[in-house]
Every structure is written in structure tokens, then in C-alpha cells.
Amino acid sequence: MTNRLTIRQPDDWHLHLRDGVMMESVVGVTAQHFCRAIIMPNLVPPVVSEADARAYAARIEQAYRKASSSVGTANTATFTPLMTLYLTDQTDPAEVVSAYGNGVIKAVKLYPAGATTNSASGVTSIDNVMPVLEAMAENNIVLCIHGEITRTSVDIFDREKVFIDEVLGPLRQRLPELRIVLEHVTTEHGVDFIQAQSKNTAATITPHHLMLNRNHMLVGGIRPHYYCLPILKRAAHQKKLVAAATGGDPRFFLGTDSAPHTASTKESACGCAGVFNAPNTMSVLAHVFEAVQALDKLEGFASEHGANFYQLPLNNRTMSLVKQNTPVQHAEQIQVGAEHVVVFDPGEPLYWSVESVN
């Protein structure tokens, strides 16, 4: 029986670090395991300019240094935030090209207006951003998409499919050279769409969508800490995602979508969407991959496919994971000032844990 696994150090291709005291509380957890992360720009106000992205990167760096020094970690690994800009109807193509050319950003994020947390300034119609997308295609800049339609008449469980049919499919045809990542794919339809493309199209997958389906969230009581967007789907979709993640296809890679909200804002009559999974992502992934006898595919999914798609070098460090006979105890929450954030509960005992990063 395999009880130890060493892989190239992973990266997180979709991460919410927030800002201020929240960021100071969560950044260290990601930096402990991941070498790099694509940082989502949905702050309030959003990260829309090169100057915003520069300033946010500097705050992340500062928070990361503070976090490392406060735990007195001997781990000298560095953490590199890969910044993104938040696309709006007003985004100037020149701003995006300059931010990318100056090495400040690695991608641009498209939120349909109103689709998710802090997306009010998002895009109202693809036509409004075509000049930006054309400039991105010309300059080889990756577009990350939150793929959900926001029309109120569309059922929340169908929003990814309708977005693909109405927006992503046509965009894919209109701009074949644009490199697109469909973020946090959650449906069979989404996986099929990615696999049907001949080039320039990939998707991230979250640990929680691999581990859970909507029954986990809704049967026997409603579990607000499982509420995220795109919402958990039925078990058949979960199965398809597991097959995509564990199948070795380079078009699928890890994006945790770790999205911390304080417990009080989630355990509410109108709770926020987001799962905070950064602390146990690697344990969850090893569990999921082992369950389908695909531990040999974990390195590709977590540590190689994303870097290759983003055309970035692979990490040199390695991560060792070990499997114990008894369940791993992860902290159930982390403190954020006077409040706390609840850590993702995978719903099953986990036996794998990260032993070291070297």
C-alpha cells in the first residue's frame, strides 16, 4: 500500500486572499503548501488597474512576510502571487497590455456582473469587452472566466451550462487565439466543452467540487459552509469532475477557489458564497485521487498542467505527503481578528497530510 508520495510543489490557479486582517490570517496557510497562486481581483473596490494590482501585490507580500515571521517558520520557501485584473465594461485594452507587458499581471478575470461575491462591477455584455479580449488574444494574455449566466430566469443549477452555450461557445469561435480558463468547472457539460476544444482552452477544478455534491449541502439540514458559487451540482457531475481531474488531461488543473468569509457572514439568513479549503486541499486531493487509483496523476493536476497552460516554469521544490493509519486532524477554524473562518469539512476522514516542502 502506498503511504508516501513526493510530487513537485503545487500551485493554486484560483485563490481569494482578500485584504487587511483577513489576508494576514489566511495567506500563510496557502504559502505553506503552494509556490504560486493566481490571485482573484474581486476586492471592494476591485483591482482594475495596473497600479491597483501593483499595490495589492505589495500588500500580499507584506502580509506574507508578517505571517511567516509570526509563526517563526524555518521554511524558507517563497510564495509568489500571480496578479490578475478585474475586467469591467470600461477596461481600457492599453491598461491590460501594459500591466501584462510590465510583468504586473498574469491574467484578467471576467465576472459576469452579479454572478458571485463582489461582482457588481463585472461585465454586462461580452460585446462591451471585445476590444480588450482582442488585445489579450494578440498579446497572449490569459482570460479567466467565472462561467455562469446571471439572467434571473435561469435556474442556479443550469447557469454554467447556459453560459457555455450562450457566451463561452460563441466567444471561443470568435477568438480562437485567446487563451481561456473556465474557472471552477462544475458540470459534465463544462468538462465536455473543454475536451471538445482543439486548443487554448482549459479549466480549473476545486477540491470541494471533487469531494461533494449537492446532497452533501442540502440533505439532512442546510450546510452554509458548503455553499459556494458555482453551486455544488448533482453526483453525476461530481463523478465527471473526478474523472477529468484524475484522468491526466493537461487541460484540467487545480484552482482551489479557497474563498474565506467569516463564520458569521456564512451562518446567516442570507449567507455568503465561498469555501475556505486552503489548509486541507492537498489532503483532500490525495484522498480523491487515491480513491480512483490515480495518485500518479496528482502531480500533473496540482503541479504541472496549470504552469504549462500559463506558460510558466515548473516549480523546483518538492512536496512530500504521507498517509497515516488514523485520520488527520486539521484545525477546524482559523482566527481572523475577533472573528473566525471555518475550514472546509470534507465530510469524510482524511488520511493523507503534507509532511514537508523541500
42 contact choice in Zn ion, ligand NCD, none (CB below 5 to 8 Å, kind-dependent): ligand NCD
Can residue 228 be called a binding residue for ligand NCD (CB under 6 A)? yes
311, burial (CB in 10 Å: exposed 0-12, middle 13-18, buried 19+): exposed
320 contact choice in Zn ion, ligand NCD, none (CB below 5 to 8 Å, kind-dependent): none
Can residue 257 be called a binding residue for Zn ion (CB under 5 A)? yes
Q: Which is nearer to ligand NCD, 252 or 352 (CB)?
A: 252
Residues 101-160 that bind ligand NCD (CB under 6 A): 116-117, 146
Q: How far is the CB of 248 from ligand NCD (least distance, A)?
A: 26
Q: Which one of 155, 257, 296, 345 is the catalytic residue?
A: 257
SS3 of 319, please? strand
Q: How far is the CB of 273 from ligand NCD (least distance, A)?
A: 3
What are the CA-CA distances from residue 358 to residues 13, 185, 190, 251, 316 (Å)? 21, 31, 36, 27, 9
116 contact choice in ligand NCD, Zn ion, none (CB below 5 to 8 Å, kind-dependent): ligand NCD
What is the Cα–Cα distance from 33 to 55, expressed in whole angstroms?
24
Can residue 41 be called a binding residue for ligand NCD (CB under 6 A)? no
Can residue 354 be called a binding residue for ligand NCD (CB under 6 A)? no
Q: Which is nearer to ligand NCD, 93 or 224 (CB)?
A: 224
Residues 265-294 that bind ligand NCD (CB under 6 A): 273-274
What is the Cα–Cα distance from 59 to 286, expressed in whole angstroms?
32
Q: Tell me which residue has cell 487565439.
A: 177
Q: Which is nearer to ligand NCD, 159 or 323 (CB)?
A: 159
Strands 12-15 and 80-86: unpaired
257 given a catalytic annotation: yes
What are the CA-CA distances from residue 175 to residues 111, 170, 181, 268 (Å)? 18, 9, 14, 42
Can residue 187 be called a binding residue for ligand NCD (CB under 6 A)? no
Q: Residue 260's closest CA among 9, 10, 28?
A: 28
Can residue 336 be called a binding residue for ligand NCD (CB under 6 A)? no
What is the Cα–Cα distance from 241 to 257, expressed in whole angstroms?
15
Can residue 23 be called a binding residue for ligand NCD (CB under 6 A)? no
**Could you give phi then psi for residue 79, rounded to 5 degrees?**
-120, 130
Q: Which is nearer to Zn ion, 188 or 257 (CB)?
A: 257
Q: Are residues 255 and 206 in contact, defined by beta-carbon separation less than 8 angstroms? A: yes
What is the Cα–Cα distance from 87 to 221, expressed in whole angstroms?
37
User: Which range in 250-258, 265-273, 294-302, 330-338 contacts Zn ion by CB under 5 A?
Assistant: 250-258
Binding positions for Zn ion, rule: CB under 5 A: 257
Instruction: Give the active site residues.
Output: 257
Binding positions for ligand NCD, rule: CB under 6 A: 16, 42, 116-117, 146, 228-229, 257, 259, 273-274
